[in-house]
Chains A and B, each alone.
Chain A
Amino acid sequence: MKKIISMLLVLVMVLAMFAGCSNPAEEKGSVYYLNFKPEADEAWQALAKEYTEATGVEVKIVTAASGTYSEKLNSEMGKEGAPTLFQCGNAQGLIDWGDYCLDLSNTDVYKEMTTDDFNLKDENGAVKAIGYCYEAFGIIVNKALLKQAGYEITDITDFASLKSICEDIHARAAELGFDAFASSGLDGSSSWRFSGHLANMPLFYEFRDDKVTEQPATIKGSYLQNYRNIWDLYINTSAADKTSLSTATGDESQAEFGTGKAVFWQQGTWEYANLIGEKYNMKSEDLQMIPIYCGVEGEAKAALCCGTENCWAVNAKAPEADQKATLDFLKWVVTSESGTKMMAEQFGPIPFKAAKEPANVFFADANKLIADGNYTVTWAFNHTPNVDAWREGVVSALTAYSADQTDANWDAVKTAFVDGWANQYKIQHGL
């Protein structure tokens, strides 16, 4: 008898261990969004709460820490109750997650879209992921500080003028109380600005010359001298110590710019909300985004770098009820009052019919430059093979070069850039 009781006890203990895992009734379906952008986390949480209150459908938003999205997605997808909505933004994403992307062609949310430009399709034309916003990056300028230094934004028209202004400000930094560029940190939280976004400049011009439209197996690096020009300017006219860039973070550069310690900061439209938010309280009339000039011929006619990596994909392997709940949620996000308001605030102009006009001045800058007949610098870096590893190679070489700006060290950057590309292409495609 006692033996039976003890067995029962064990059973109870074991069951108690699993009780936490069981789920309530599932008919309604639920939404689990693995969010890509830490800066938009709060807004998503608030929106999810509102949707749950209105409809009773549970919406869980989880945000991966900066720079760890693919790892997080990987581990979450392997679990029971995997994300129903996730981010799949480039060629690598489709290789990895193509099987997990529901064809969105006939969904309500897709029908709300105004353009197909930012969507990812497979070879059969199925819509695997929809680009829910587009972004622009360039050099953000604090016009108030620029004025204090004795310049107007219109003085900057190309690389030469940018360079002379930066060098002048840097020389007078002690007297002015601020420097030209915010720190160009090469810590993981900041290095993507240079190994990704800044590297887009040489890639874009090379691809434009060579008429490249698909991921190339090899690149030539024809514009790497321009990459060097602008990188030298970033680190030579900044208060940051060149040998400590390996540990300087993105937050540090944000704080330098936000608190008026620097006039220039290479960043994107997504930083607008942070800059005018409570923390830094910058005025939108003081902010403007200008193109990244790097000394390429004709670049006075360049606009901002516009594109997106932000594409929603719905998990094709999630239960049907959850897929439906997710699609309903997305439709609500891009059509409802609060949804479109949040999207406009966080992501700027979104390619959906009910989109609201964003207050974000950076988008106004982007649109104005295009309207004035300048050419858009598209996101050529979306073709990068085995993105993280390629970027790590470039960052290591760039860090070494920054500490000691010799030609030999720059050659190592070139090798990492060009030879590294060919190598990572092979690795990505399993050749």
Chain B
Amino acid sequence: MSKKSRGSNVNSYQIRRPMRRMWPVFILPTFLCFIIGFIWPFLQGIYLSFTDFMVPSDAELTLIPALEAAEKNPELITEAGGKFAYCMQAFFQNYRKAFEDPSFARAFWNTAGFAVVSIILINVVAFAIAYALTQKMRGSNLFRTVFFMPNLIGGVVLGYIWSMIFDAILKQYGTYLTANATYGFWGLVILVAWQQIGYIMIIYIAGLQAVSEDMLEAARIDGANGWQTLFQVTIPNVMPSITICTFLTLTNSFKMFDQNMALTGGAPTITLAGGTQIKTTELLALNIYSTYNIGRRWHGTAQAKAVIFFLLVAILAIAQLTATRQKEVQQ
């Protein structure tokens, strides 16, 4: 559809002119907030990941004490294999510690597993419910509301409520939620599915309603059965919704924090032979948080983990968007 043909009032000169002149009023406050609330902390975060600090204002690059140590003891440089290698090691010290931390690796695999399971579960169930609720049936509006409601409750509250529910159920079998990592993992999956299915469902409903009736009718006339219509006509046409929904569930799973903290808090902690202790149900975000809380020697490392975490989420999200975009139908 061509833009000019509608003659929309929004595009009229009368309305456009003041908007053009007053653009700073509309743009600047938001832009300023964006800088204060996002860009500046982000840059500061990257800087802090190369430092040693208790609170951000007294951060010192990890390189500085290392250089001082090298001045007193030049052997350190030869041990590291040259001045450049030594400086690089000192500069990236927090990143090295982050990668060497076994709890970080464990948290990564927990998160990856959690993301795969919850993306599939949430999207399949949400789509199924949305599909059912867009068929002509009585009370579909009521159902939509009910399914959406869990999304209105905050993550921490949900975590505590569900931990009570799970414990009450597991008690019947003489066990409890934090008894092992499996319960905690599936508990979190159930909680998050329950919370997010409603929201994702709403997006799918909007997508399904936009599929043109003509096309569905044409499919019927051509003799397509229900499944064929679903897979050949409906799904290709709701691909934009699938893109946005997988994006949302993917990033949500990776960024999962409140629910994880309130439901199990990473418990149970297991002590491996040799003393290494690992929180078995900890996801990445919670791992970063608890690393920070160990104490001042770990603040920079936690910050380095956070930067790694950001890169990971960004790369995954971009890869996923590119992949699903290619499947979208151009109208």
Query: What is the interface of chain A, defined by CB distance below 8 A to chain B?
Result: 2-3, 6-7, 9-10, 13-14, 70-71, 74, 77-78, 82, 92, 95-97, 99-100, 188, 241, 243-244, 246-247, 317, 386, 388-390, 392-393, 395-397, 399-400, 403, 412, 415-416, 419-424, 427-430
Contact = CB atoms under 8 A, between A and B. Distances in A.
21 contacts: A7-B24, A9-B25, A10-B25, A13-B29, A14-B32, A78-B56, A92-B295, A95-B295, A95-B297, A99-B54, A243-B171, A244-B176, A246-B176, A388-B294, A393-B277, A399-B267, A403-B175, A403-B176, A421-B275, A423-B275, A428-B295
Contacts of A429: 297
Nearest to B53: A78
Contact of A244 (B28, B56, B167, B266): B167
B176 A399 contact: yes
B167 A246 contact: yes
Contact of B294 (A78, A100, A389): A389
A423 to B, nearest CB: 3
Contacts, number: 129
A71 B261 CA distance: 14
Interface in B121-153: none
Interface in B103-121: none
Given A78-B55, A419-B271, A6 B22 contact: yes
Given A78-B55, A78-B57, A243 B271 contact: no
A399 B276 CA distance: 19
Interface of B: 21-22, 24-25, 28-29, 32, 54-58, 163-164, 167, 170-171, 174-179, 265-271, 273-277, 279, 290, 292-298
Contacts of A70: 293
Contacts of B279: 392
Nearest to A14: B32
Contact of A6 (B25, B265, B297): B25
B294 to A, nearest CB: 6
Which residue among A3, A7, A95, A427 has the maximum number of chain B CB atoms within 10 Å of its CB? A427
Contacts of A82: 55
B267 A396 contact: yes
B52 to A, nearest CB: 10
Given A78-B55, A423-B277, A393 B269 contact: yes
Which residue among A9, A77, A422, A430 has the maximum number of chain B CB atoms within 10 Å of its CB? A430
B295 A386 contact: yes
